[in-house]
Structures are given as C-alpha cells and as structure tokens.
Structure 1
Amino acid sequence: MGLYADDTHSDSNSENLISKVVTSSDGNYVYLGNKKFARDDLIQAFGGTLNPGLATPSAHKFANPAPLGLCAFALTTFVLSLINAGAMGVKNDSIVVGLAIFYGGFVQLLAGMWEMALENTFGALALSSYGGFWMSFGAITIPWFNIAASYEDPVELNNGIGFYLIGWSIFTFMLTLCTMKSTLAFFSLFFLLAITFLLLGIGKLGDSHGCTVAGGVLGVIVAFIAWYNAYAGVANRQNAYVRVHAVQLPVLESRN
C-alpha cells in the first residue's frame, strides 16, 4: 500500500509514490516513518473526530472536542425537530432559544474553535458554522434583535426564513461532498441534515405543513445520528463495554 501525491495514480505510475505504508503482521498497527499508530486511530474518517480524511492523531495536548460539538448540535436539533414534527401538540418553539444560544450555539462554536487548534479544518468549519446557525436562529425569535418584528407581512417573514434554510441546505450539501469517502454514519449525518434543511425551507416557502413535519421527523433521526457519532468519539476500551465500529464507504479510485 502507498501514499500518493494525487489521486491519478496507477501501479505503473510509481513516480507519484511518496512512501510505502508498512503494517504489522496482524494488520492492527501502521508504521509511518519511525512512528507506530493503531490502525483504528488512523481511520479518522469517522464522526467521532469529525475528520473526513486519513490523518494521524494530533500532536497537541488537547482532548477531542468533536463529541462536545456533536452533542450540542444533537440535543438542540432533537428538541426543535420534535416541535417541528408536532410531537405532544407543542407548537411554540421558544423553549429552544436557550439551547440555541448557549448549547447548540456558544458551546458548539467553542468546540469548532478547538477543532481549529487541532488542525482539523473540516471539524472547525462544520461545528463553528452550525454554532453560528443556532445562535442566528435564536436571534430571530428574541425580541431584542427586532428581526421577526421588523416584518409586517408574515408571508414575507416565512419566505425570508425559507431562503435562510435553503442557504443552510446548500452549505450542508457542500460538506456532504467531503464525506463521501468516509463512513456510513459520518456521511449519513450531513446528507440527512441537508435534506432536513431543504424540507424545512420548502415548508416555509410553500407554506407546507407536511414538509415541515417531515423535516421535523428527519431532524430527530439526524439528532440520534449525531449522538451516535459523538459516542463513537468518547467510548473506548478503557471506559465502555459497548463501542462503535465504523462502516467504511466504498472508495473508487480515479484513473486517467
């Protein structure tokens, strides 16, 4: 097995080969240079670390911030999605504002900045952006910001929120493209989240209660997938009997 400078390599195109990857006889360890890494630690294309590519563990002496960010996202999404789905007859979403500002927003933003310190560009982009999403969502419903109150026409307000949600759907689809070589749980999180944003956006633009409910139901599923990925980043041999194992998506090599 080798590491290549680009994806357009073949067996005969050995000049692009950077170095050979040496593994232990049982395949559980990989040797890169003069360092030994556990194979499971190198497979970072997993929601527990929010790193969609092959990467060695960070040399920085920081804990993994991804589970914190994922849990902040999951809990806030879970509560709002239940309301969007019409669970227990709850229609007022004001209860989400505190979560959106402090947990899904501020705490998730902090996790994103810590991902930046760990040199994880994808994790920093995703967590910081969705932290900003939740804080901006909370601001819409807080009277002090005068956002919702500035619209005299409720249809215009719904259309504006629809544009807002569609924009987040486009952004999430972009992130989804960066997870297509990772794992099933990691890819599913972003793909289904993009569909959730799309359904909620259509629900606002088309005044479709059915789309909003569907987005709420799918959002609950997304929340559990986010918790699943977070658990994968916390559970290990030392602290848990139940651990999560990645299901790798098939990777197709590009050839000229």
Structure 2
Amino acid sequence: MYTRGLSQANIVVSLAFGYGGLVQLLAGMWEMAVGNTFGATALSSYGGFWLAFAIVLTPGFGIGKALEVTDAEGRITDETALLNSMGLFLMGWFIFTTILLICTLRSTVAFFLLFFFLDLTFLLLGISYLVRPNGGQYVAVQKAGGLFGFLAGFAAWYNALAGLVDNSNSFFIVPVAHFPWSPTGRSRRSKTQRELA
C-alpha cells in the first residue's frame, strides 16, 4: 500500500519464509493429522504460496533477474515478462482462493470474510501486474489489493482469536456470526423455535 513511503518488499521475505511459509505449512500438516481436510489444504497451500513468493523475492535464486531484460550497462529496460509472470502467479492463487471461499459458505461470516478479503487481494494484485496503463505496475489497483490484504490479515487474526478464547481462558467469547443455513445456525434457529412453543 506504499504506507510510510515503503515500496520494497524486503521485510516480507523473512516473514514469508518463517511465519507465512514454514509455520503455516507445519500447521497444515497438524491439521491433516487431526483429520481437518479444509484446514490442512488451506494452511499447507498458503504456506507453499509464501515460500514460493519468498523464493521469487530472494535475489540469490535469480528468478526476477532471469525475467528482466537489461541493456549493456545492466539497467532494466523491460520488466514485461516479470510483471506478467507475477500477475499470472497471483491469478492462480485467486482461482484457488475462490474455490476455498465457496467451501466457507456453510461456516461462519467471520471465516467467509477472511477468504472473501483474501480472494479480492489476489484478484486486485494480479490485475495490478497484468494491466499496465503506463508500462509499469498499476499502483492504484495494487494499493486497493493491499487494503484488502490488510482486511484479510485482520480477519485472520480475528478468526484466530475466536478459535482460541473460550470459557476456560477468557472473560468473553468472540462472536463469529454463523450463517443461518449452516448446521450451527440451523440448530440454533430450531432450538429457539422450540423454546418459543
């Protein structure tokens, strides 16, 4: 989002390798061990996304350099291949996230919003690389993608808090708003109707 004048993703590399990559990948494996297929698929896949993203951003791997065209003095003259590659990479994750978004329709509003915001993040960031009105990245769309990424991060932490707190360790419960058609929403609705009868 270019907040506080930051335009380079350098600090993201360490987080992408460590927290976003390794920790999510491990969490996905633990989810598989307890039989949560959705959690295992989502966490492992996004762990893989962050590891792949970190590899692309790490100069030692030379991926960005291999996709750039430079002149005899080493100045970048054409980034089209790099921008198109990043755009297609992010669009692939948009498609995957859309599939997971559909799977959240029977859960909670909070969980749905997490994947909805994440889906918009991938879509807008992908567009920002693929649609280049002045030859470079579409900054306004990139900033909008960053904003939805921020909202996705907030929703992820909100869902994490909702999953952690209960009557044994907290004085409050975090509301997650079950969809009326979800199993929990239907059971709560039918229980209320019986109590009224």
Q: Same fold (TM over 0.5)?
A: yes
Alignment gaps of 5+ in structure 2: 70-77, 133-137, 184-197
Which residue number corresponds to residue 122 of structure 1?
38
2:108/2:176 contact within 8 Å kept:
yes
SS in 1 for 2:83: helix
Q: In the TM superposition, what is the alpha-carbon distance from 1:251 to its structure 2 partner? A: 1.6
Which residue number corresponds to residue 224 of structure 1?
154
Which residue number corresponds to residue 190 of structure 1?
115
Q: In the TM superposition, what is the alpha-carbon distance from 1:155 to its structure 2 partner? A: 1.5
Hey, what's the Cα distance between the residues in 2 that align with 1:94 and 1:201?
Answer: 19
1:155-194, aligned counterparts within 5 Å?
155-194=80-119
**Number of residue pairs matched?**
169
Structure number with higher helix proportion: 2
Per the normalisation by structure 2, the TM-score is 0.83
Which residue number corresponds to residue 210 of structure 1?
140
Hey, what's the Cα distance between the residues in 1 that align with 2:17 and 2:59?
Answer: 14
Hey, what's the Cα distance between the residues in 2 that align with 1:168 and 1:158?
Answer: 16
Which residue number corresponds to residue 49 of structure 2?
133
Q: In the TM superposition, what is the alpha-carbon distance from 1:246 to its structure 2 partner? A: 2.7
Q: 1:110 aligns with which of 14, 26, 31?
A: 26
Identity across matched positions, percent: 49
Q: 1:247 aligns with which of 172, 177, 181?
A: 177
Which residue number corresponds to residue 145 of structure 1?
61
Deviations 1:66-105 (A, max 9, x none): xxxxxxxxxxxxxxxxxxx111010111111000001110
Q: In the TM superposition, what is the alpha-carbon distance from 1:233 to its structure 2 partner? A: 1.2
Hey, what's the Cα distance between the residues in 1 that align with 2:36 and 2:92?
Answer: 24
Q: In the TM superposition, what is the alpha-carbon distance from 1:248 to its structure 2 partner? A: 1.2
Alignment gaps of 5+ in structure 1: 1-84
Query: Using CA pairs below 8 Å that are at least 6 residues apart, which structure has the higher relative contact order?
Result: 1
Hey, what's the Cα distance between the residues in 2 that align with 1:168 and 1:125?
Answer: 13
Question: For the aligned residues, what is the CA RMSD?
Answer: 1.4
Hey, what's the Cα distance between the residues in 1 that align with 2:125 and 2:7?
Answer: 15
Hey, what's the Cα distance between the residues in 2 that align with 1:240 and 1:224?
Answer: 20
SS in 2 for 1:250: coil
2:107/2:182 contact within 8 Å kept:
no
1:8-157, aligned counterparts within 5 Å?
85-151=1-67, 152=69, 153-157=78-82
Hey, what's the Cα distance between the residues in 1 that align with 2:130 and 2:53?
Answer: 17
Does 204-213 or 239-248 show the bigger shift?
239-248
Deviations 1:2-52 (A, max 9, x none): xxxxxxxxxxxxxxxxxxxxxxxxxxxxxxxxxxxxxxxxxxxxxxxxxxx
SS in 1 for 2:179: coil
Q: Which runs of 4+ in 1 moved over 6 A?
A: none
Hey, what's the Cα distance between the residues in 2 that align with 1:252 and 1:227?
Answer: 22
Structure number with higher strand proportion: 1
SS in 1 for 2:144: helix
Which residue number corresponds to residue 35 of structure 1?
none
Which residue number corresponds to residue 194 of structure 2?
none
2:28/2:39 contact within 8 Å kept:
yes
